[in-house]
Structure 1
Amino acid sequence: MSKLRKQHMAIEWHDIVNTESDIPAKNASLQEKASLVGRVGLMMLSVGTAAWRVRASMNKISRALGITCNADIGLLSIEYTCISGSETYTNAISINTTGVNTDKLNELEHFADGFADRAEKYSVQQFHMILDKFQDMKGNYKALSLGLASALACCAFTFLLGGGIIEMICAFFGAGIGNFVRKKLLERHITLFANVAAGVASACCTYVIFIKLAELLMGVSAIHQAGYICSMLFVIPGFPLITGGMDLAKLDLRSGLERITYALLIIIVATLTGWLCATLFHFYPQDFEAYELDPLLRTVFIMITSFCGVYGFSLMFNSTKKMAATAGLIGMCANTLRLELIDLAGVHVGLAAFIGALSAGLLASAIHHWIGYPRITLTVPSIVIMVPGMFMYKGVYYIVINDITTGEMWLTKAVLIVTALPLGLIFARILTDKNFRKSS
């Protein structure tokens, strides 16, 4: 077998700079300054943040170095030009894949914020050595821990969607094993379509095994098969869907469209894999079995499961436990408000999603100065639980079996909610951040 050759060649950043020089970065050559600007931008891009945040970090570095930078940013690549007087330096750089890492995002944000204070003290080589440490940061959690985080999130999600204890238990094991399998494949650098399909198939098959055992050993009704959809919801790409919408709002059309396309690819592969598994095992997306709960007790359970769901998803984004708990508290308030508006006030699901996301954005803006986390590390995880993964699956399922009318109904609901979520965060940011509010 021939040796694997990487399609995206690694950039040797230390070869670009004079490693022997101790000249402060502010006095370095334009090429060396541009290497810092580009590397910071590329690392910001790799952690899954929106293009306008990538550009903002590149601008902070550029201003501190006394140069001007213009950048065109996509999902995986950046083309940028640095200008100093009559000199210009243009570069095109890219990464091989994308993901979400809120802990590294937080560290990079702090690095960019404090860069100006060190630009006249540290050399370009010293800055690259600092960035090397960020580059080498390992994930906070192993595959088993991420499987448990996914299990917790999808178990909570199941209750919020109307499932009972049987569906919650089966979804817990299904999602846990599914995300564990996907993480193991990601560690081996298996390509996107394969790791998504394998993760979803593992989750669905695990759910089937557990529900069939429950039917055989405990006489559980077949109606509990409806929860198999919940076991695969860990794969729904809420982060790129929401950041893509935010990029569109800032007219970063290239990045916004690329992110949404990336999210759609995952959704299509995941839903078609789920449909195939359902067809093989003769499972159908039925309604959950109805059960009665005291209204006050129901609200308490909604708050608990909303917190658990957001906490689990935040851990999957590599948030620290403190960051995940903070996002969980915000999500608990925002999602409980959303669901109560729908159930008690009869508010349309799209409007309720907008209000829920708006409240999450306002809460994060109110506290982020005290806790020191970038808002996006709190806001997006706190509303990912509102992304209508079940609606997306049902829409694709019914279209595949030629029930176009029903499929269109579910997909329309999904589109309305997915559109409303970033809009809520956008308007929260407009209200609380003058830099975001203005076109500049």
Structure 2
Amino acid sequence: MKKDIDVDPAIDEKIKQLSQAHHMRIPWHDFMTADNVTTARRASLGERALIVGRIGLMLLACGTGAWRVRDSMNVVARKLGMTCSADIGLTSLEYTCMDDNHSYTQSLSLPGTSVNTTRLTELEKFIRLFDKRGEKMTIGEIHKKLTHIANTRGLYSPIKVGLAAALACAAFIFLLGGGPVEMVCCFVGAFFGNFVRRELIDRHITLLACIAVAIAVAGVAYSASLALLRLTLHVNAMHEAGYIGAMLFIIPGFPFITSGLDMSKLDMKSGLERLAYSLLVIVVATMAGWFVAMCLHLNPRNFEALGLTPLVLCLLRVVMSFCGVFGFSMMFNSTLKLATIAGLIGAVANTLRLELVDLVHMPSGAAAFIGALVAGLLASLVRTKVGYPRIALTVPSIVIMVPGLYMYRAMYNMGLTSVSIGAYWTVQAMLIVFALPLGLITARILTDDKWRHNG
């Protein structure tokens, strides 16, 4: 009988070891042929290019923008004696490394997008180290350090992430005009919503299902906690308006802000993809929230007046702005120190924004621009002192300025075919959304020489 020449045990064994994920994992160490003695600069073009690609992909996975990814790839490429040209999207990376008369091109992609400021901080530390002594490091040493960073687990358990969202949303609803009842119910709703969302993410459930289920759980938990308070403390039914606050943990702050930053540097592919992703998240979240509101007969009414003096309100805004930014920063996997610094920046910037609207009657868009500008300037000052990535400080500090309430009211009224009211809230939201990245861009132009120049 003729032997089947296609059967090869070695090949079959190798096939079994390949990734079975839809987005196949890359076995980076399988591409290493250089020993752990020869420096990376003397390695082959392919091995040097793989280092550049792996670093770029890891940075992209942290949620940072295209400009930072490209800048880091360029630092590594120069140290390894190559020229690098990269085309960067939200989850994709295509690049070419050139050396003498040869070139090496790769196309890499991620299964999804997320935010991890701690890993981003470690990668930026590695880039600074590489810029100092990268030519002396070996291929094995580089990949070992990168693998260590990649394998770093999240700092917080699902329960802690849920509590961070609860703190952020409770503070958020106060800043929107809610009182103690709304804050308590938001705390409960956001905790359960983000806890469920994190559990689903850890189980690799698809994006839209994670959003819809988390929003539904948050809305139901808010309604249930309010019903319990009405039963035991006889609180007013008007407090149901705060259910929107329990859903605000879903705001895609990082892709929203980085989309504007990328487009300002003409990284249109990355910027437009990030904007599309942000809009997708917002549409799904607001639709899910609207459906829950219809089922539970909830209405986004105006909040009852708290009756606070301007001074007391200002002081409470400082505290709540800090708590909100601190909570959002922890949701982005920031260390306690990083979250605290971001919280202090947000306390100053967001309180200034709100006071400008109340005391000077400044339009909300203009006040948002000034708030983001102040946050960017403070983040640049802090970065020179402690070395944290600028984006890890600025984005959490202005996420609390994103008009999630306006976005939801726009979708809610559109769903009721109240087009004129929905259009009003849409315009109000757009003015603020456009102003926030413009404020950060202005701060970067004023404080960052590399950002200020093209080329």
**TM-score under structure 1 normalisation?**
0.98
After superposition, the CA RMSD in angstroms is 0.9
Q: Specify which of 110, 121, 125 is matched with residue 95 of structure 1.
A: 110
Partner of 2:83: 68
Contact 2:329 2:342 in 1 (8 A): yes
Contact 2:170 2:183 in 1 (8 A): yes
User: Is residue 148 of structure 2 the alignment partner of residue 133 of structure 1?
Assistant: yes
Q: Report the alpha carbon displacement of residue 215 of structure 1 after superposing the two structures with TM.
A: 1.7
Give 1:112-131 correspondences, 5 Å limit: 112-131=127-146
Q: Specify which of 264, 277, 286 is matched with residue 271 of structure 1.
A: 286
Partner of 1:165: 180
Identity, % of aligned positions: 53
**Structure 1 counterpart of 2:264, one-letter code:** A
In 2, Cα distance between equivalents of 1:417 and 1:277: 26
Q: Report the alpha carbon displacement of residue 366 of structure 1 after superposing the two structures with TM.
A: 1.3
**TM-score under structure 2 normalisation?**
0.95
SS of 1:79's equivalent in the other structure is: strand
1:240-265 CA deviation, whole Å, 9 max, x = no partner?
00001100000000000000111111
Q: Report the alpha carbon displacement of residue 19 of structure 1 after superposing the two structures with TM.
A: 5.3
Partner of 1:192: 207
In 2, Cα distance between equivalents of 1:176 and 1:167: 14
Partner of 1:48: 63
Give 1:216-231 correspondences, 5 Å limit: 216-231=231-246
SS of 1:89's equivalent in the other structure is: strand
Q: Report the alpha carbon displacement of residue 217 of structure 1 after superposing the two structures with TM.
A: 2.2
Moved more, 307-316 or 114-123: 114-123
Contact 2:321 2:343 in 1 (8 A): yes
In 2, Cα distance between equivalents of 1:14 and 1:87: 23
Give 1:27-38 correspondences, 5 Å limit: 27-38=42-53
Partner of 1:317: 332
In 1, Cα distance between equivalents of 2:304 and 2:310: 18
**Structure 1 counterpart of 2:149, one-letter code:** F
Contact 2:185 2:225 in 1 (8 A): yes
1:421-440 CA deviation, whole Å, 9 max, x = no partner?
00000000000111101111
**Structure 2 counterpart of 1:47, one-letter code:** C
In 1, Cα distance between equivalents of 2:27 and 2:229: 55
SS of 1:287's equivalent in the other structure is: coil
Contact 1:226 1:287 in 2 (8 A): yes
Contact 1:18 1:125 in 2 (8 A): no
Structure 1 gaps of 5+ residues are none
Highest CA radius of gyration, 1 or 2?
Answer: 2
1:101-127 CA deviation, whole Å, 9 max, x = no partner?
000000001111110333232211220
Q: Specify which of 76, 98, 105 is matched with residue 83 of structure 1.
A: 98
In 2, Cα distance between equivalents of 1:94 and 1:306: 36
User: Is residue 402 of structure 2 the alignment partner of residue 387 of structure 1?
Assistant: yes
In 1, Cα distance between equivalents of 2:20 and 2:239: 47
Q: Specify which of 346, 349, 364 is matched with residue 331 of structure 1.
A: 346
SS of 1:114's equivalent in the other structure is: helix
1:33-74 CA deviation, whole Å, 9 max, x = no partner?
000000000000000000000001100100111100000000
**Structure 1 counterpart of 2:439, one-letter code:** G
In 2, Cα distance between equivalents of 1:383 and 1:431: 18
In 1, Cα distance between equivalents of 2:44 and 2:131: 17
Contact 2:300 2:409 in 1 (8 A): yes
SS of 2:105's equivalent in the other structure is: strand
In 2, Cα distance between equivalents of 1:283 and 1:350: 29
Moved more, 420-429 or 214-223: 214-223
Q: Report the alpha carbon displacement of residue 21 of structure 1 after superposing the two structures with TM.
A: 4.7
Partner of 2:434: 419
SS of 1:119's equivalent in the other structure is: helix
Partner of 2:306: 291
Contact 2:321 2:350 in 1 (8 A): yes
